Structure 1
Amino acid sequence: MTVTAVTFTLSDNQRAVLALWTEVNASLSAYHKLVTSFGNAELAWCAKVEAWRQLGIHSTHLKRHEQPQQTQATIDAIQQALLDNKYGLLFADQSDYPPQLLDIYDPPPLLFYRGDKARLQQAQIAIVGSRKPTTHAQKITFDMAQYLAQAGYIITSGLAMGVDKRAHLGALAQVDAEYQGRTVGVMGTGIDVNYPNHHDKLFSQIIEQGGCIISELLPHTLPHKHTFPRRNRLVAGLSLATIVTEATIQSGSLITARLTSEQGKQVFAIPSHIDNNNAEGCHHLIREGATLIYHPQQVLEDINSQLGYQSRNYNSSDNAELNIEQANLSQSSHSINTDNISIAAVGHAPQSNLKSSSNAIVIPEHLTQVYEQLDWHGQDLDALLSTTNLTPPQLIGQLMELELLGVISVQGGRYLRV
């Protein structure tokens, strides 16, 4: 599925917004200072450079403001790219701009996008973490994203290596075409700069399957250490909650978690062994108040409760869409506005009898290999025999032990985690 951008001719006000955004080089503070001081983008753009100087605008921005021909050339190039369907553009005053971003501290005045912009209007859950996750964390991330996407949510992440990539791929791994493409990628570069370079295939897959990729930065903007925290705030701002599956204490995903919390939304973290340095960030988050989870259904229950309705189970023929109006996430004054965000609350997976974390069961070492091969969707014996290299009697015996422990179940000949 390929969704192309809808081309349009920029209005005078939109050209002014683009002009300011170009001349301040996408500086949020400078842009908002100019618009606030002059009343709107058109008046700010028409103002003399001396008026900008009196506001304390940086000298490099002043130099660009003194060269309107270059600004006009940039705007004309963007207009041509829109006409050529290379990407689309949303402005903050448009109805299809994601409303949840309007409630963050510093919303971007515009968003460049590729793919299906309707994804931005749907309820999203962020999954973030380490760029170098363990094999186990990669599997957990993929499975969790796949489960939550099949439950109707959009999976949002930052298109980075490691956990981000596995989150996007998990969301895309849907057998039912109705649930394919349920992912949003937020870039830390210009919309036309794929980074990392070897993620070209991932970018194309997201767009072709009906997902969406966005950037607030100007086209041709290269990656820089300052652009990724900006990306992280958008990942947090778009989402109802953030899940950190594995992260070191220095991981940028902790920035996303902090921003999520500051926006009054819930942070979830997956625990690991205490000697796993790669999970030290998750343990820190849990110590600081993040919600410990070990099953994606726990995320659904908490989020659905916050949104003011009870989680429901649907079979594959229901395909119901719930429209959440005036949902009140009153955890802080920065609560997200979920008006008109459509949430497909379709839970194909069964409700599980979740165990209290205080009674968590430790998986015996000799069963770890088989347990880690299982997911929340189920695998048959043939698949497990192929991945574990155990003999049928060995595998069946270990599966029976796991079932007796209460950590897996059997449904229709498929073994799955509970």
Structure 2
Amino acid sequence: MTASKLILSEEQRASLALWYEVNGSLSAYYKLVSSFASMQQAWTAKLSAWRELGLHHTHLKRHQQTEQTITSINTVTAALEAGEYQLIFADQPQYPTQLLQIYDPPPLLFCRGNSARLQQAQIAMVGSRKPTAHAQKTTFDMAQYLAGVGYVITSGLAVGVDKCAHLGALAQAETSYHGRTIGVMGTGIDVCYPSQHQQLFAQIIEQGGCLISELLPGTLPHKHTFPRRNRLVAGLSLATIVTEAAIKSGSLITARLTSEQGKQVFAIPSHIDNTNAEGCLHLIREGATLIYHPEQVLEDVNAQLNSPVGYAKTEATKPVISTTSRLNKRSAKDESLPSSLTNSPVQSAFDADITIKTKVIIPEHLTVVYEQLDWHGQDLEALLVTTKLDTAQLISKLMELELLGTISEQGGRYSRL
């Protein structure tokens, strides 16, 4: 859909007008929709008819101010024609079908970037706004890994874990999987919050990701807008991963909403004295699936794509494949798989590990570290000397090797598997 050429139909204008006059109230909007034969009839209905429905007095007041409503519609239309953002209505094919399965789907979505991402298979990643360094690294690497096998990483654009999840997906070097991330906003589509994320917002759009909001343009952040955002993060995704979260946090709200929607919640464990991760430990105690490697997510989530609920069966969902189950069902030259998966260095490492380690193939950029390791274990200081890398580079490569399942760490010592 080309935003610059979008012209709203009369029903779409009426839908937008209703959304404006009820100020984004889902209950009021759907009460109006169910009470009239069309959006047009609902919008042009007399004030007395709205009053009989028991709508809030602020909605009634806005309904009387027709000129302000028309001005608002015209402002949105001008922005659409200028290509500032897109507008997708619930009855359009571009609308994410998975959102139609939730209790209170938004009637419309404002969007910037590649709206095709909305129809692709997604995994949500959420967590603390003040994560530990380890949680940041784990989030980044896991998001990069999952994007590398075809999933879109969806999160809420907050500081901390959310940002790491978006950046991890954007860091996926494989061209066909570049930019696989969706940011769900708790503000209007034209309001950058937090303000320091202007570069992140631009990067998501430029690299083929997508930003969405159900809220009217100009809507500022409010404590009530973020739980609304969280339900969309959960609703868009097949499952939610919580990498680190306090016991009272928005991440646990997203996890609860995910569970209520009949989807799986994954939680990454941490030390029992890490108060910043108490929420994850609570989730595990309450039945969330404990994970420490993204392959464990793929094993559980990919099965849903055999009969996806809410996702259209399009090419967008096909690249996501469970490496564990796949190797039991195909030969090494299965033509049904995309070459970007079967030929990638990461995939080669998966194959080697799953086939009882008869052969280990390490990506070239990781060999400088892997070749210095043995099966007895070496500490970080020794590896810094032998690899001649700085601490950040070394830790990054060690984490990537761990995610590939080729090394392990125990007591601060790293060894081959």
Q: Give the structure-2-normalised TM-score.
A: 0.81
Is contact 2:170-2:178 (8 Å) kept? yes
Establish whether residue 203 from structure 1 lines up as the match of residue 190 from structure 2: no
2:57 maps to amino acid? S
The residue that corresponds to 1:379 in the other structure is: 366
Contiguous gaps of at least 5 residues in structure 1: 309-326, 329-335, 356-374
Aligned 1:1-12 pairs, distance under 5 A: 5-12=3-10
Change (3 A) 1:287 1:306: same
Could you say if the C-alpha distance between residues 259 and 177 of structure 1 is closer, same or farther in structure 2, counting changes exceeding 3 Å?
same
1:6 CA drift (Å):
4.8
8 A Cα contact 1:376 1:417, kept in partner: no
Which residue of 1 is the match for residue 75 of structure 2?
77
Work out whether residues 120 and 311 of structure 2, in 8 Å CA contact, stay in contact via their aligned partners in 1. Answer: no
Distance 1:303 1:382, change over 3 A: closer
SS at 1:112's partner residue? strand
**Where do residues 125-136 of structure 1 align in structure 2 (5 Å cutoff)?**
125-136=123-134
Contact 1:172–1:180 under 8 Å retained in 2: yes
Contact kept in structure 1, 2:245 and 2:280, CA below 8 Å: yes
1:262 deviates by: 0.8
Amino acid aligned to 2:138: I
What's 1:40 paired with? 38
Say whether the 8 Å CA contact 1:146–1:174 is kept in structure 2: yes
Q: Distance in 1 between matches of 2:142 and 2:209?
A: 18
Unaligned 5+ segments in structure 2 are: 321-340, 357-361, 373-378, 389-393, 409-413
Residues of 2 paired with 1:77 and 1:24: CA distance? Answer: 17
> Residue by residue, what CA displacement relative to the aligned partner does 1:106-125 show, whole Å, maximum 9, x if unpaired?
00000000000000010000
CA distance in structure 2 between the partners assigned to 1:200 and 1:22 by the alignment: 26
Q: Is the 8 A contact 2:140 2:168 kept in 1?
A: yes
Match of residue 145 from structure 1: 143
Distance in 2 (alpha carbons) for counterparts of 1:376 and 1:279: 32
Counterpart pick for 1:62 among 60, 63, 66: 60
Distance 1:391 1:93, change over 3 A: closer
Q: 2:119 aligns with which of 118, 121, 127?
A: 121
Structural mapping, 1:91-102, within 5 Å: 91-102=89-100
Contact 1:126 1:243 in 2 (8 A): yes
SS for the counterpart of 1:379 is: helix
Confirm or deny: 8 A CA contact 1:121 1:340 kept in the other structure.
no
Over residues 334-373 of structure 1, what are the superposed CA-to-partner deviations in whole Å (9 max), with x where a residue is unaligned? xx32233522224743155599xxxxxxxxxxxxxxxxxx
Alignment deviations for residues 259-305 of structure 1 (CA, whole Å, 9 cap, x no partner): 11111111100000011101110011111111000000110111112
- Give matches, 1:160-309, under 5 Å: 160-308=158-306
Distance of aligned partners of 1:66 and 1:383 in 2 relative to their CA distance in 1, 3 Å threshold = farther
Quick check: 61-70 or 346-355, which moved more?
Answer: 346-355
| Shift of residue 38, structure 1, vs aligned partner | 1.3
Q: Which residue of 1 aligns with 2:335?
A: none
Deviation at 1:39, TM superposition (A): 2.9
Q: Is the 8 A contact 2:369 2:387 kept in 1?
A: no
Q: What's the offset of the Cα at 1:43?
A: 1.1
Distance in 1, matches of 2:267 and 2:365, equals 23
Deviates more, 1:342-351 or 1:15-24: 342-351
For the Cα contact (< 8 Å) 1:172–1:182, is it kept in 2?
yes
Counterpart of 2:313, as a letter, is N
Change (3 A) 1:100 1:354: farther
Counterpart code for 2:247:
I
Q: Tell me, yes or no, if the aligned pair for 2:119 and 2:312 is still in contact at 8 Å.
A: no
Mapped contact 1:407–1:417 kept (Cα < 8 A): no
The alignment partner of 1:126 has SS state of strand
Corresponding residue for residue 310 of structure 2:
337
SS at match of 2:5: coil
Call closer, same or farther: CA 1:376–1:153 in 2, change over 3 Å. farther
Could you tell me how far 1:50 is from its partner in structure 2? 1.0
Offset, 1:55: 0.7
- Cα RMSD, aligned residues only: 3.1
CA distance in 2 between partners of 1:275 and 1:417 (Å): 29
1:340-359 → structure 2 map (5 Å cutoff): 340-341=313-314, 342-343=316-317, 344-345=319-320, 346=341, 348-349=346-347, 350-351=350-351, 352=353
- Give, in whole Å, the separation in 2 of the partners of 1:235 and 1:29: 20
Question: 1: distance between equivalents of 2:137 and 2:83?
Answer: 36
1:391/1:285 CA distance change after superposition, 3 Å: closer
Q: Helix, strand or coil for the counterpart of 2:223?
A: coil
Distance 1:251 1:417, change over 3 A: farther
Which range is displaced more, 36-45 or 82-91? 36-45
Q: SS at 2:366's partner residue?
A: coil
Q: Cα deviation per residue 1:141-181 (whole Å; 9 max; x = unaligned)? A: 00000000001000000000000000000000022222111
- Supply the AA of the counterpart residue of 1:167: A
Residue 383 and residue 270 in structure 1: after superposition, are their counterparts in 2 closer, same or farther (change >3 A)? same
Residue pair 1:269, 1:292 contacting (<8 A) in 2 also: yes
% identical aligned pairs:
64
Counterpart code for 1:44: A
Q: Which amino acid aligns with 2:67?
A: Q
Count of paired positions: 362
CA distance in 2, matches of 1:190, 1:409: 45
